[in-house]
Chains A and B, each alone.
Chain A
Amino acid sequence: MNKRILVIGGGIGGVQAGLDLAQMGIKVTLVEAKPSIGGRMAQLDKTFPTNDCSTCILSPKLYELASHPNVDIFSYSTLDKVDKKENGFQARIRKKARFVNEEKCTACGLCSEKCPVKIPDLFNKEITTTKCISIPYAQAVPAVYKIDKKHCLYFSKGKCGICQKVCTAGAIDYEQKDTIETIDFDAIIVAAGAEEYTPRIRPEYGFGIYDNVVTSIEYERILSASGPTGGHIIRPSDKTAPGSIAFIQCVGSRDISSGNYAYCSSYCCMQATKDAIITREHDQNACSTIFYIDIRAFGKDFDKFVDRAQSEYNVKYIKSRISEIIEKPKTKNLAIKYITPDGRINTKEFELVVLSVGIRIPDQIKELMTELGVKLSEYGFCPCDAFEPGITNVDGIYVCGTLMGPMDIPETVMSASAAASMAARGLLSPEISSEIIKEKPAEIAIEEKYLKIGVVVCHCGVNIGSVVDVPEVVKFAGSFRNVVFADELIYACSRDSIKYIIDKIKEHDLTRFIMASCSPRTHETLFKSALEEAGLNKYLMQMTNIRDQCSWVHQDNHEEATEKAKDLVCMAVGRSRYLQPLHELDSEVNKACLVIGGGIAGMMSALFIADNGFRAFLVEKDTELGGNLLKINYTLEEKNISWLLGKIRERVQEHPLIDVCLNTEIREIKGYVGNFTTNLTSGKEERNIEHGAVIVATGGREHETESYGYRDESYVVTQREFETMLLNKNPMLKYAHTVAMIQCVDSRESDKNYCSRVCCGEMVKNILQLKNDYPDKDVYVLYRDIRTYGMLEPYYTQARKTGALFFRYDIENKPVIQKEENGEFIITVYDEILRRYIKLRAQLIVLSVGIDPLETNDQLARMLKVPLNEDGFFHEAHVKLRPVDFATAGIFVSGLAHGPKYINESVSQAIAAASRALTIITKDKIRSEAHTAVINEVRCTGCGFCVDVCAYNAIEIDKEKNIAAVNTLMCKGCGSCAATCLSGAVDLSGFTNKQLIQEFQELFL
Chain B
Amino acid sequence: MFTVIKPMRGPKFKNEVARYPGGENIKRCFACGTCTLSCPVSEAESNYSPRRVIHKILLGLKDEVLSSDEIWYCMTCYRCQVRCPQDVKYPEIMRVLRQMALEQGYVKSEFVDAMKEIEKVTQDIRRKILKRFIEKRESITEKDIREIISLSDKIQP
Contacts and interface: CB of A to CB of B under 8 A. Distances in A.
Contact of A838 (B3, B7, B42): B3
B147 interface: no
A841 B46 CA distance: 31
Given A801-B27, A803-B15, A838-B4, A320 B85 contact: no
A321 B35 CA distance: 9
Contacts of A339: 33, 36-37, 51
Contacts of A840: 5
Interface in A779-808: 786, 796-797, 800-803, 805-806, 808
A778 interface: yes
B57 to A, nearest CB: 11
Interface in B25-59: 27-38, 42-43, 46, 49, 51-52, 55-56, 58-59
Given A323-B37, A797-B28, A805-B59, A841 B7 contact: yes
A255 interface: yes
B7 to A, nearest CB: 6
Contacts of B59: 805, 834, 838
Contact of A836 (B2, B15, B29, B85): B2
A673 to B, nearest CB: 49
Interface in B79-110: 79, 82-87
Contact of B7 (A254, A343, A738): A738
A28 B54 CA distance: 56
Chain A, interface size category, equals 35 or more
Nearest to A840: B5
Nearest to A323: B37
Contact of B33 (A204, A320, A828): A320
B7 A800 contact: no
Task: Find the residue from A257, A343, A837 having the highest chain B CB count within 10 A.
Answer: A257
A50 interface: no
A293 B32 contact: yes
B52 A833 contact: yes
Contact of B28 (A322, A323, A800, A805): A800
A345 B42 contact: yes
Nearest to B24: A801
Contacts of A323: 34-35, 37-38, 79, 83
A321 B6 contact: no
A735 to B, nearest CB: 14
A250 interface: yes
Contacts of B4: 838-839, 841
A805 B4 CA distance: 15
A563 interface: no
B7 A737 contact: yes
B35 to A, nearest CB: 8
Given A800-B28, A803-B12, A324 B38 contact: yes
A345 B87 contact: no
B1 interface: yes
A209 interface: no
B3 A839 contact: yes
Given A257-B86, A324-B38, A833 B28 contact: no
Given A801-B28, A803-B27, A836-B2, A324 B14 contact: no
Contacts of B52: 833-834
Interface string B57-74: 011000000000000000
A833 B83 contact: no
B55 A833 contact: yes
A319 B59 CA distance: 21
A806 B3 CA distance: 16
Nearest to A827: B5
A778 B60 CA distance: 11
B79, B83, B84, most chain A CB atoms within 10 A: B83
B36 A257 contact: no
Given A293-B30, A797-B28, A833-B51, A803 B3 contact: no
A806 B30 CA distance: 8
Contact of B3 (A204, A324, A831): A831
A738 B38 CA distance: 34
Contacts of B2: 828, 836-839
Nearest to A336: B37
Contacts of A838: 2-5, 59
Contacts of B37: 320-324, 337-339, 345
Contacts of A803: 12, 14-15, 27
Nearest to B4: A839
B115 to A, nearest CB: 26
B74 to A, nearest CB: 16
Contacts of B29: 800
Nearest to A337: B37
A255 B85 contact: yes
Nearest to B83: A323
A321 B28 contact: no
Contact of B85 (A321, A737, A831, A834): A321
Contact of A805 (B32, B58, B83, B86): B58
Contacts of A831: 3, 55
A838 B59 CA distance: 10
A256 interface: yes
A344 B5 CA distance: 24
A803 B27 CA distance: 6
A258 interface: yes
A573 B53 CA distance: 80
B37 to A, nearest CB: 4
A840 B58 CA distance: 14
A809 B3 CA distance: 16
Scoring B3, B29, B34, B58 by chain A CB atoms within 10 A of each residue's CB, the highest score goes to B34
Most A-side CB within 10 Å, residue of B5, B35, B56: B5
Contact of A321 (B7, B34, B79): B34
Contacts of B5: 838-841
A834 B32 contact: no
Interface in A352-378: none
A795 B21 CA distance: 24
A562 B30 CA distance: 66
B1 A837 contact: yes
A345 B46 contact: yes
Contacts of B42: 345
Nearest to A793: B30
Contacts of B86: 254-257, 797
B80 to A, nearest CB: 8
B18 to A, nearest CB: 9
Interface in A840-863: 840-841
Residue among A204, A322, A323, A797 having the largest count of chain B Cβ atoms under 10 Å:
A323
Contacts of B30: 254, 293, 786, 796-797, 800, 806
Nearest to B61: A834
Given A800-B27, A800-B29, A841-B7, A324 B83 contact: yes
B114 to A, nearest CB: 30
Nearest to B6: A841
Residue among A204, A258, A834, A836 having the largest count of chain B Cβ atoms under 10 Å: A834
B52 to A, nearest CB: 5
A136 to B, nearest CB: 34
Interface string B102-137: 000000000000000000000000000000000000
A786 B31 CA distance: 12
26 contacts: A255-B85, A257-B82, A257-B83, A257-B85, A321-B34, A324-B38, A324-B83, A339-B37, A345-B37, A345-B42, A345-B46, A796-B30, A797-B86, A800-B30, A802-B27, A803-B15, A803-B27, A833-B49, A833-B51, A834-B3, A834-B59, A836-B1, A837-B1, A839-B5, A841-B6, A841-B7
Which 7 pairs between the two chains have the least Cβ-Cβ distance? A321-B32, A323-B37, A255-B85, A323-B38, A833-B55, A838-B3, A839-B4
Interface of B: 1-7, 12, 14-15, 27-38, 42-43, 46, 49, 51-52, 55-56, 58-59, 79, 82-87
Given A343-B49, A836-B1, 6 more contacts: A204-B83, A344-B46, A801-B28, A802-B27, A837-B3, A841-B5
